[in-house]
Structure formats: structure tokens, C-alpha cells
């Protein structure tokens, strides 16, 4: 459905991105931020899903600064490789490249951002540091609890699993208490529950989170 395009960040870095277009006039733009596995088949299918819902979806390859064409699966080896590459991508690099995608997506109207796993953390950073966003959605973003000083400047929705070993649910509850104006949801699910290619996939939680996310984007993006 989509195609690969090239984006240019503010510092001149050129990165690839997957772009999926809706059949009719776009309701707006959605930037989809990858997990630590690159812009793989799952992230492309997520972008395709937002395009099917009427949005222009762009998934920037945030690993391109370290290694191009990263497309991993979910084996222990893939996880180790993904963590290694992710460790070399600074928050500043990630926000710059997300910004390039936001700028491109803005041709379709208002722009929201959604990220999964590490991408959820990048969406959290973007909600504070990026310009041109009207809404942000973070799925189980590791790092959010350690960076609560960066409060979102746009409406934010968070999705977390209560069985997530990486993100203590008590911390999530405290975050929800602190960010009363931003909806934060906790599901009976594990880390990565949205990804149907992972063992932690939880169909009911994924469905409910997606419906909530779409409602949120309908309200803020269009």
C-alpha cells in the first residue's frame, strides 16, 4: 500500500520513511514511530492501518543515522541487535528525525504522532520538543517515567500494560495522577501488546487501545 520516501532533517541528514496514503482526501497526518526493530513489516502495517482510517501516515526510519535499512523480527538476536542500534540514537537525533516526518505529514493538514515501545518514548519527547503537532499517543514508552520533567505541550494519550516488566505499573499510576488532563490507560497486558508478531500480543487490549487512539486523533487531528 505504501512506499519508501526520503526525508531531510534540519541538520541535513537524509533518512528514509515509509509513507502510506489514504484513498480519499486525508483527514490529516499521523507520524508513526518505530519500536527498536526498525521500520519493519509490523510498523508498515500500522501505518497502512492509519491510512485505511483516512490519514496520511509516515513512519520515519530513526535508525538511519546509525545503520540504514534496519528491519528486524522479534527473536532474542533481533532484540539484542535492536537494543544495540537504539543505544546509539540520541534523543536529539530521534526528535530531529521525527520533526522531519511531522513537517512532511503537515501537507495533509493537522498532525498527530503515535509511537510504540521506544517509539512511545520518542512520541513523549516530541510532545514536549517538536513543533507542528496537535496530539501525541505513546504506547508503553520505556523512558517516559524517567523523563517526567518533559511535560507534554499537546494533548497526550498513553497506553500501558500492567504486566510490563520494563515499565512498573505503580510508576504509570503516579504519572496518570500527575497528568490528570491527559488520558493514560492501563491494560491487563504485557509490554508490546499491540504487536501481532510478538508473543506478548493481546488482541482485546490492542483493539481497545486502537479505538481510543483513533477517537483521540478524530478529535484533535481530523
Kindly state the average pLDDT of the residues 78-105.
98
Selecting among 42, 48, 64, 117, the annotated active-site residue is 117
Contact 31, 105 (CB under 8 A): yes
> What's the pLDDT tens digit per position in 146-201?
999 999 999 999 999 999 999 999 999 999 999 999 999 999 999 999 999 999 99
Q: Is the pLDDT of residue 106 over 80?
A: yes
CA 192, CA 20: separation in Å to the nearest integer?
23
pTM, rounded to two decimals: 0.98
> What's the pLDDT tens digit per position in 68-81?
999 999 999 999 99
Kindly state the average pLDDT of the residues 2-26.
98
Selecting among 164, 182, 195, 220, the annotated active-site residue is 164
Q: What is the pLDDT of residue 1?
A: 75
Q: pLDDT category, 105, cuts 50, 70, 90?
A: very high
Kindly state the average pLDDT of the residues 36-50.
98
Selecting among 42, 159, 182, 191, the annotated active-site residue is 191
Report the top-level CATH class of 3-220.
alpha beta
CA 133, CA 153: separation in Å to the nearest integer?
9
Mean pLDDT of the chain: 98
Distances (CA, A) of 132 to 21, 32, 165, 169: 20, 15, 33, 31
Q: Is 159 marked active-site?
A: no
Q: Is 191 marked active-site?
A: yes
Q: pLDDT category, 109, cuts 50, 70, 90?
A: very high
CA 162, CA 151: separation in Å to the nearest integer?
22
Contact 95, 46 (CB under 8 A): no
Q: pLDDT category, 20, cuts 50, 70, 90?
A: very high
Q: Is 13 marked active-site?
A: no
Amino acid at each position: 500500500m505504501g512506499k519508501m520516501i526520503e526525508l531531510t532533517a534540519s541538520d541535513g541528514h537524509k533518512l528514509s520513511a515509509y509513507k502510506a496514503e489514504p484513498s480519499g482526501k486525508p483527514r490529516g497526518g499521523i507520524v508513526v514511530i518505530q519500536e527498536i526493530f526498525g521500520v519493519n513489516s509490523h510498523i508498515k502495517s500500522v501505518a497502512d492501518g492509519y491510512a485505511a482510517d483516512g490519514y496520511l501516515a509516515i513512519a520515519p526510519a530513526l535508525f538511519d543515522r546509525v545503520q540504514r535499512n534496519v528491519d528486524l523480527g522479534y527473536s532474542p538476536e533481533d532484540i539484542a541487535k535492536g537494543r544495540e542500534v537504539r543505544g546509539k540514537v540520541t534523543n536529539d537525533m530521534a526528535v530531529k528525525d521525527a520533526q522531519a516526518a511531522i513537517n512532511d505529514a503537515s501537507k495533509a493538514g493537522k498532525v498527530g504522532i503515535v509511537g510504540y515501545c521506544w517509539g512511545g518514548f520518542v512520541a513523549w519527547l516530541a510532545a514536549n520538543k517538536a513543533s507542528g503537532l496537535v496530539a501525541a499517543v505513546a504506547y508503553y514508552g520505556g523512558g517516559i517515567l524517567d523523563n517526567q520533567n518533559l511535560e507534554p505541550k499537546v494533548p497526550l494519550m498513553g497506553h500501558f500494560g500492567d504486566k510490563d516488566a520494563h515499565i512498573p505499573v505503580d510508576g504509570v499510576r503516579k504519572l496518570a495522577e500527575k497528568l490528570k488532563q491527559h488520558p493514560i490507560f492501563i491494560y491487563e497486558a504485557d509490554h508490546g501488546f499491540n504487536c501481532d508478531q510478538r508473543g506478548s500480543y493481546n488482541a482485546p487490549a490492542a483493539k481497545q487501545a486502537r479505538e481510543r487512539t483513533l477517537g483521540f486523533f478524530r478529535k484533535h487531528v481530523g
